[in-house]
A and B are shown apart, each in its own frame.
Chain A
């Protein structure tokens, strides 16, 4: 692996930077390292936060200082070793998910302005958004919020100049070459083009892996549904893995 840099983001967290671009190759490396570290039993690593090109490790400095006068140096050394060990760790497990989206204007607040700005018909925008398979690069911002890409340049659009005070849960948006789904009601500045009836985040389920529907590494394809299908959507009997 080349171009690795390590820097602190607090005195109890450091970031390993594996690149500076939005692409699957770098993100694969991040997740190979993430999965490698997850498998190691180290109760003093309090959090592992994978992002597009970086992996951040949050640690307990009191424990780390038992090994060295500098927790930062010691953790850096551990992680450099981990990077060497997991270089050929193979392919990431990835699931294929299909997610229904209703692109009606009552849900897709910014669909019209986006189609105008991009000189496309609304149908063309929907076609372009549903044509691609998107990779979940990372979760962040809100619990379960998937950062996905890469959106076709023809419909890639910068964030709104002023964010909305309330974006309803389920809203599907575009920001630059990224697409995402708001799991919860939240303020937000992404261009909203539709809404999924699917619950993306549920804090009340018993199995942790089910709290967030989407996981990094997942491959997501959207498909268009009608307003009637949106309203009669049966969450209980829907499996996004087989749809």
Chain B
């Protein structure tokens, strides 16, 4: 049972929720850019929410199924076509052996996820299936997917006809309806926020920023108003996290993403809350975003609420799948 990459995408890789416990060695967690989308896709096919998944950006890979499977595509909508016919996102689909999956047009979002019922068979590195392109380890030989790659999965299903199941995840709780992304991305204040001049502190909350084209799995550069540091102070390198917004010496801000380094020496202005990381991750270059602050207590509550919704979705999907004897 496997999927074959018949055409490589730009930066597609196998990821899970990340490799934790090794940051003291400088080994960063990696993991998916959008955890909510990953969990939604997994829930819809009846997998554990943290099961490893294929993550794709646009242009995405073209894939062939060498065996029948139950799949779900979530996150960004790149107009998936199965054997030339449109299939929906956030809805489970049965695919037959020999089927080809292509992504034809970018509708919204930056990262798209493909889950397979039963999960992929991968070789773990340090307890995780996440690809670390820096360490060249994990996932598929520690690199982005290339043409000819065979990704095995474990669940065998009987040969069947292509079928779209009638249930669909409501993702409006996790994302604004595309393409409106007007709600600010919520942050907690960074320890060096007051290193900004009073004016730049205000600007951070008042102005829109644009996600730069020089953005990738390591970080999203944010263009907009120049942020100024009130005095020349040096920060000794210290830990950063997914979502940390750092001030670069040229006045630009950068939001650190899944492949961020473990430590950094630039002032940390803010940290995007985990509950809003998915929304930030799905912003494409040239899209506008703005920021607001919440306190740590609210950030915790928002994350817990989101996790609760995801586990409710998982339960509902399990029930549906049982009804269909899958």
Contacts and interface: CB of A to CB of B under 8 A. Distances in A.
B191 A15 contact: yes
A133 to B, nearest CB: 20
A204 B274 CA distance: 32
Interface string A55-78: 010100110010001111000000
A138 B27 CA distance: 12
Contact of A61 (B132, B240, B304): B304
Interface string B236-247: 111111111000
Contacts of B135: 143, 184, 201, 203
A203 B125 contact: yes
B142 interface: yes
A20 B136 CA distance: 34
A47 B136 contact: no
A65 B21 contact: no
Contacts of A65: 300, 304
Contacts of B244: 9-10
Contact of B242 (A7, A10, A54, A140): A10
Contact of A139 (B26, B243, B271): B26
A49 B263 contact: yes
A211 B134 CA distance: 14
A20 B236 contact: yes
Contacts of A20: 236
B303 interface: yes
A211 B25 contact: yes
Interface string B26-43: 111100000000000000
A89 B135 CA distance: 34
Contacts of A69: 297
A30 to B, nearest CB: 10
A194 interface: no
Given A48-B24, A141-B26, A143-B25, A9 B263 contact: no
A139 B274 CA distance: 25
B191 A7 contact: yes
Given A9-B191, A203-B135, A203-B137, A52 B239 contact: no
B272 to A, nearest CB: 8
Given A65-B300, A203-B137, 15 more contacts: A8-B271, A10-B241, A11-B273, A11-B274, A46-B20, A49-B23, A51-B263, A71-B300, A138-B237, A139-B262, A140-B237, A140-B261, A142-B26, A142-B261, A212-B25
28 contacts: A7-B191, A8-B296, A9-B240, A10-B188, A12-B274, A15-B191, A17-B238, A21-B236, A47-B21, A47-B24, A51-B236, A52-B237, A54-B238, A70-B300, A138-B263, A141-B237, A141-B263, A142-B26, A142-B261, A143-B28, A145-B26, A183-B26, A184-B134, A184-B135, A203-B132, A203-B135, A203-B142, A216-B24
